[in-house]
């Protein structure tokens, strides 16, 4: 960084897609305001793109060089901050690694990269005394990274519960509000630009999982490899289960959460029933929300747009400005010790919560008694049970809400059910928040 406190901060931007274009637009629109805040100008010097001839959604203005050579950003001694908005893993890792080795601060929105290879990059940044900032990687415009590593730094974090993927939340909201089937809700999300042509990362929970891993690192000072995290997507959610959940007073949301139990972390991403009185249940459409509870602060909820050009560009710009302030000392993970230790994780089978189980059974006497007996054998206590609807092909739905029970006990009930001839295969099981 240029030592003069009033010298311009020069930026090298890698990627001019949706978020990159949004960042450029904000830099241009709010240039005077940003200068008033910082006491120095932010100057976009070079932009790295894959195709030089591709039409752009934003005009770069005079003096900005467009290049397809990553070395043009890394090798330019005038560039103070490299902003990586390309996406992907390998090329982005290479760019960030080289930028840090060249003595440049880095801002990124790449949650997949940081979730999978973050420990290497954070260790390098710490070794070099450089910033590797990533506010935009967790929840779009929501300032959850700064909240955890600065505002709540003196708290022991008791829990984080979040709606971390706007695509999944839009789909579930459409299914709930309009009665759409999953496939139709996904199609509409794609038409509106809320879902990618290949939506796998969103609907299978992997995008939310990447974000949760970053939040765990910030909140607990521990690294958790993706392979150790329980992840389940929303593809098995049906309008029927949404209706049953609503009758019990719940909505269904894709939830990423973590809390401590017996000195270990309990963490995972999965669709969960969320009671209608809980604030997270009211988060609609493509919005994100994160509930953080500190031992001193108590519960705090942050809500906002989780994606989009300007919302995500706003978070990227916040990191650039943080790294541009005079006398800035990098604070990448919220902890001074690098590398951070690997998380001690509670066996998911020992995790305890209430559960929702939807059986489809033959319309005959003794069915409810047999299922209730299995639950009793495994120590699962029933909170509510509903059998509704006319028989279809001789089968009817039976839905149970349980009191808190270990995952291992619920799995025992599901295994018993799979062996009962009067229960149709495909029993539905969701956890309850």
Which positions are catalytic?
211
Q: Look at residues 164, 255, 259 and name the one whose alpha carbon lies nearest to residue 216.
A: 259
Distance from the Cα of residue 363 to its chain's centroid: 42
What are residue 317's DSSP bridge partners? none
- Report the alpha-carbon distance of residue 358 to residue 362 in Å, rounded: 13
Q: What angle do CA 312, 152, 260 make, to 5 degrees?
A: 100
Give the torsion sign (CA, 181, 185, 187, 188). Answer: positive
Closest CA to 146 of 157, 162, 135, 155: 135
- Which residues lie closer than 8 Å to 344 by C-beta, 6 or more apart? 222, 263, 264, 265
| Spatial separation of the C-alpha atoms in residues 289 and 254, rounded to whole Å | 11
State the residue for tokens 């509510």.
384
Helix (H) or strand (E) holding 397: strand 395-402
User: Cα separation of 105 and 231, whole Å?
Assistant: 33
Residues with Cβ within 8 Å of 414's Cβ and at least 6 positions away in sequence, in order, are: 357, 427, 429
| CA–CA separation, 220 and 222 (whole Å) | 5
Place of tokens 């240039």: 31
């Amino acid at each position: 960084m240029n030592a003069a406190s009033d010298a311009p901060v020069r930026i090298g931007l890698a990627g001019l897609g949706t978020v990159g274009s949004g960042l450029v637009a904000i830099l241009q629109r709010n240039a005077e305001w940003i200068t008033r805040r910082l006491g120095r100008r932010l100057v976009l010097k070079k932009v790295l793109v894959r195709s030089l001839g591709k039409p752009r959604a934003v005009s770069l203005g005079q003096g900005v060089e467009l290049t397809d050579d990553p070395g043009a950003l890394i090798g330019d001694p005038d560039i103070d901050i490299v902003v990586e908005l390309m996406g992907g893993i390998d090329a982005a890792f290479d760019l960030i690694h080289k930028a840090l080795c060249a003595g440049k601060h880095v801002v990124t929105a790449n949650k997949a990269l940081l979730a999978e290879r973050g420990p290497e990059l954070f260790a390098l940044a710490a070794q070099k005394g450089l910033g590797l900032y990533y506010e935009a990687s967790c929840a779009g415009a929501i300032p959850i990274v700064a909240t955890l590593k600065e505002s709540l730094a003196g708290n022991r974090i008791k829990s984080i519960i979040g709606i971390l993927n706007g695509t999944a939340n839009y789909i579930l909201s459409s299914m709930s509000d309009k009665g759409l089937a999953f496939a139709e809700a996904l199609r509409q999300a794609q038409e509106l630009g809320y879902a990618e042509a290949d939506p796998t990362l969103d609907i299978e929970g992997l995008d939310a999982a990447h974000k949760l891993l970053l939040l765990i690192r910030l909140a607990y000072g521990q690294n958790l490899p993706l392979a150790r995290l329980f992840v389940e997507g929303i593809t098995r959610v049906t309008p029927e289960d949404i209706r049953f959940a609503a009758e019990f007073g719940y909505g269904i949301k894709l939830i990423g959460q973590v809390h401590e139990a017996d000195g270990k972390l309990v963490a995972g991403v999965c669709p969960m029933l969320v009671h209608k009185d809980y604030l997270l249940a009211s988060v609609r459409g493509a919005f994100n929300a994160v509930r953080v509870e500190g031992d001193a602060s108590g519960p705090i909820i942050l809500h906002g747009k989780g994606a989009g050009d300007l919302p995500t560009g706003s978070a990227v710009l916040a990191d650039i400005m943080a790294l541009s302030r005079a006398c800035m000392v990098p604070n990448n993970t919220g902890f001074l010790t690098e590398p951070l230790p690997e998380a001690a994780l509670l066996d998911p089978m020992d995790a305890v919560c209430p559960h929702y189980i939807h059986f489809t059974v033959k319309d005959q006497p003794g069915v409810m008694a047999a299922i209730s007996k299995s639950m009793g054998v495994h120590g699962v206590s029933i909170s509510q049970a509903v059998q509704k609807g006319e028989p279809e092909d001789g089968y009817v739905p039976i839905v149970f809400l349980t009191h808190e029970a270990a995952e291992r006990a619920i799995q025992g009930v599901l295994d018993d059910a799979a062996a009962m001839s009067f229960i149709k295969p495909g029993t539905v099981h969701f956890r309850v928040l």
